[in-house]
Amino acid sequence: MEALKEKIRQEGRVLGGSVLKVDSFLNHQLDPEFLNEIGKAFKEMFKELKVTKILTAEVSGIAIAVMAGLHFQVPVVFAKKTQSLNLDPETYEGEVYSYTKQQHYKIRVSKRYLSNEDQVLILDDFLANGEALKGLYQIVEASGANLVGTGVVIEKGFQEGGKKLRAEGREIKALATILSMDHGDITFL
Ligand code: 5GP
């Protein structure tokens, strides 16, 4: 998606060589018109698929998933990262390892909102080490739903997640793939 690459070139900030901050439109301040273009691009990318539900993870996946949901005209479910009283006790779980926190945590979706009748499209903001997607795949598998596709806004191709998950047979598409960010210079595929 050319407009996304341009937006990243103009507004992205590289931290410590491997973290890309896109806080001005995707991860903190949200740019609704631009996120709507992202939703539209996902619809175009996966237009052949029959989708009944979009699945993402809180918090950063929600905005783009909702925009995509408008174009697919299907509900969006987000996996929750904390156990709380307002989450149904009956849940499907996935496990995610956080490199930044150096610990495992669970993500959960209520059994009410995913079933073996669903055709699920997983969407997320970033693909880095692939842990978030792995946790979401576990949830889809536990629910018996059919996974029809996976899309991410930005894949950091210099990290291992994409390679690892594709080697396991996962088909993942990205709206923009970054090959390197050395010295703050962002190179796209
Ligand atoms: P994973 O390593 O599991 O593929 O990425 C986990 C999550 O960390 C992503 O869903 C995303 O929210 C966040 N993340 C990973 N790398 C980056 C990055 O470079 N920039 C930002 N803003 N978030 C990231």
> What integer best gives the mean pLDDT of the chain?
96
**Which class for 88: exposed (0-12), middle (13-18), buried (19 or more C-beta within 10 A)?**
exposed
What is the distance between the alpha carbons of residues 14 and 60, in angstroms, rounded to a whole number? 18
Q: Are 143 and 118 in contact (CB under 8 A)?
A: yes
Give the pLDDT confidence of 67-109 residue by residue, as tens digits: 999 999 999 999 999 887 777 889 999 999 987 778 999 999 9
Percent of the chain residues topping a pLDDT of 70: 100
* Top-confidence residue, 103 or 38: 38
For 80, which DSSP code? B
Q: Are 26 and 125 in contact (CB under 8 A)?
A: yes
Per-residue model confidence (pLDDT) at position 39: 98
Q: Residue 127 Cα, ligand 1 centroid: separation in angstroms?
A: 6
Q: Residue 135 Cα, ligand 1 centroid: separation in angstroms?
A: 13
**Ligand 1 pocket test: which of 126, 129, 153 has the largest number of ligand atoms within 8 Å of its C-beta?**
126
* Mean pLDDT for the stretch of residues 40-51: 98
Tell how far CA 56 is from the center of its chain: 6
Confidence of residue 163 (pLDDT cuts 50, 70, 90): very high
**Ligand 1 pocket test: which of 125, 155, 178 has the largest number of ligand atoms within 8 Å of its C-beta?**
125
Q: Residue 145 Cα, ligand 1 centroid: separation in angstroms?
A: 25
| Inter-axis angle of helices 60-72 and 32-45, nearest 10 | 60
What is the distance between the alpha carbons of residues 132 and 171, in angstroms, rounded to a whole number? 15
Residue 179 pLDDT > 90: yes
Annotated binding site: 20, 27, 128-132, 156
Which amino acid residue places its CA nearest to atom 19 of ligand 1?
A: 19
Q: Are 154 and 127 in contact (CB under 8 A)?
A: yes
Question: Does this model's pTM top 0.90?
Answer: yes
Check pocket membership of 56 for ligand 1, CB cut-off 6 A: no
> Which helix (H) or strand (E) covers residue 161, if one does?
helix 161-167
Q: Which domains does the chain have, with CATH numbers?
A: 2-188 (3.40.50.2020)
Closest CA to 154 of 134, 119, 182, 178: 178
Per-residue model confidence (pLDDT) at position 45: 98
In the block, tokens 């950063």 appear at 60
Looking at the DSSP bridge assignments, the partners of residue 77 are 55
Per-residue model confidence (pLDDT) at position 66: 98
Confidence of residue 119 (pLDDT cuts 50, 70, 90): very high
What is the distance between the alpha carbons of residues 128 and 132, in angstroms, rounded to a whole number? 9
Per-residue model confidence (pLDDT) at position 153: 98
Which atom number of ligand 1 is nearest to the Cα of residue 21?
Answer: 22
Per-residue model confidence (pLDDT) at position 184: 87
